[in-house]
Amino acid sequence: MKAYPVILLFLLSFFVYSCTDNITDIGKGVQPSSDQITIGTDTFHLSSKTIFVESIFSRPDSFLLGTFYDTKFGTTQADILAQVNCPEGFKFPPNSVPDSAKIILYYTGCFGDTLSPLDLNIYEINKQTFTYTSFYPSNVNPSDYTDRSLKLGERIIRAGAKTSVPKTIEFKLKSDFIQRFFNDTHFKSTDDFLGFFKGMYITANFGASTLLNIGLINLRYYYHYNYQTKNIYGGDSTATVNDYLSFPANSEVRQVNRIQHPDRASVIPQNSEVNYLASPANLQTQITLPLNNIKNRLNNGINDKKLTINSALLKVEVTNTEQDTVLHPIVKYVLLVKESAIDRFFNNKELPSDTCSVLAQYYSTQIGTTGVYEQYYTFNVAKLIANELKNAPKNSSIPPLNLRLIPVAVGTTTTSTTTSITSVKQQYLMSAVTIRSGKNSSSPMKLNMVYSGF
């Protein structure tokens, strides 16, 4: 009786071995060849060109102020038009006396020569002012808002070495301005105040080597008042309180950073080998996808199988970095967005959606141990292309799709486990990068696709 378990175990082992032999070939033995999954790849060469951007719409978190010139990207001039907000409903205490007022610019650093002199001037906006609900381009004409007849202040400064603590530039305001602001009937609401003080225009009259990065603008109004109190002996005493009001250029009112590039058409080289990206409001790159060719390739299929896009990688290669980084930081984030949706995307404060826009970050990786680095931005546009093909007419050719590469600033929030994108804005700080074009002789811009068929 004891031998039976051994014999039974031997028979079971033989049975299992017979069933598992060549198990990896079962699918091939049972599944017809016409039902097998087909994997394929394809490459589409793309056309690209550099676009000179006349203006952008944005609400920047910081502002450039000054003028900077370099031989590759030309001149960048930056001015600021800013409304300031009032302390709504404020009333001066009894016995108040005005003392002084000043405009304070806080800057977190500068771009260019820290020792070059910069002549800063502030004029009051005395024509029309901005409407908060409207969008204003970065090439607004200051003459539409001020005739420069009311100068509020002037300073000649040098930016100085960069520090971790913001620096300030102060403009003391004249006595007539101080007396004029000593009227709290204008502080009933923001609208009432903007009818009284429409804002200020801040500009640089000379200097071609420095751009300040202005992080905050504030108007401070100082006053004091006396009140009667009792001293420690119970007698009458007069106390003096020194205080001030703050009128900040904050998110509740409108600011516009005016950006100009007066000589870029004559300075920026025309080179079919490369395209350019530069901010602010300067250079973008248009990329054209051959949607009809992609559609035909998918429809033709392989072995009568309809193809589905698995990935569509657009690798934008960076070149000539040694020329760009001398004066301009490399563009960190680039948004690839449908041209038809650019204004909507930024005006509505949208986030990348895959079917309209794709975000990429600058990467630099070493090739093996050669000491040579590959620098690039990579975009997976599979969902974008699939969405375009899905919505296209079924029995007619599809026009090419124009996309735009745009330098952007990205806001994020981080938890213990994830980092999420909270905002994508057009970049207002100086940055630039040179990329290989669709006509580049060594490595032209192309789209690499992987698809499967069932």
Q: Is there a contact between 346 and 415 (Cβ–Cβ < 8 Å)? A: no
216 pLDDT exceeds 80?
Answer: yes
Q: State how far Cα 6 lies from the chain centre.
A: 75
The least confident of 31-40, 127-136, 294-303, 381-390 is 31-40
Q: What is the pTM of this model?
A: 0.85
pLDDT of residue 304: 63
> What distance in Å separates the CA atoms of residue 285 and residue 50, rounded to the nearest whole number?
4
Mean pLDDT of 27-45: 65
Mean of all residue pLDDT scores within the chain: 88
Please, where are the H alpha helices in 149-199? 175-181, 190-196
20 pLDDT exceeds 60?
Answer: no
pLDDT confidence tier of residue 325, bands split at 50, 70 and 90: low
Mean pLDDT of 439-449: 96
Mean pLDDT of 201-208: 86
pLDDT of residue 119: 94
Residue-wise pLDDT tens digits, 108-163: 888 888 888 999 999 999 999 999 988 899 999 999 999 999 999 999 999 988 77
38 pLDDT exceeds 90?
Answer: no
Tally of CB atoms within 10 A around 226 = 14
Instruction: With residue 267 as reference, give the H or E element that holds it.
Output: helix 264-267
16 pLDDT exceeds 70?
Answer: no
Instruction: With residue 396 as reference, give the H or E element that holds it.
Output: none
Q: Is 192 helix (H, G, I), strand (E, B) or coil?
A: helix
Single out the residue of 265, 301, 387, 372 nearest to residue 338, CA to CA: 387
Please measure the distance between the N-terminal and C-terminal CA atoms of the chain and give it in whole angstroms. Answer: 56
pLDDT of residue 17: 42
Q: Is there a contact between 434 and 319 (Cβ–Cβ < 8 Å)? A: yes
> CA–CA distance from 296 to each of 48, 300, 387 (Å)?
22, 6, 16
Residue-wise pLDDT tens digits, 397-434: 999 999 999 999 999 999 888 889 999 999 998 999 99
Mean pLDDT of 44-50: 96
pLDDT of residue 10: 45
pLDDT of residue 98: 97
22 pLDDT exceeds 90?
Answer: no
59 pLDDT exceeds 70?
Answer: yes
The least confident of 82-96, 189-203, 241-255, 321-335 is 321-335
Residue-wise pLDDT tens digits, 227-255: 888 777 777 778 899 999 999 999 999 99
Mean pLDDT of 60-81: 90
Residue with the bigger pLDDT between 342 and 237: it is 342
Q: What percent of the chain has pLDDT over 70?
A: 89
> CA–CA distance from 130 to each of 63, 245, 320 (Å)?
17, 23, 41
Q: What percent of the chain has pLDDT over 90?
A: 66
Mean pLDDT of 78-89: 96
Mean pLDDT of 62-72: 90
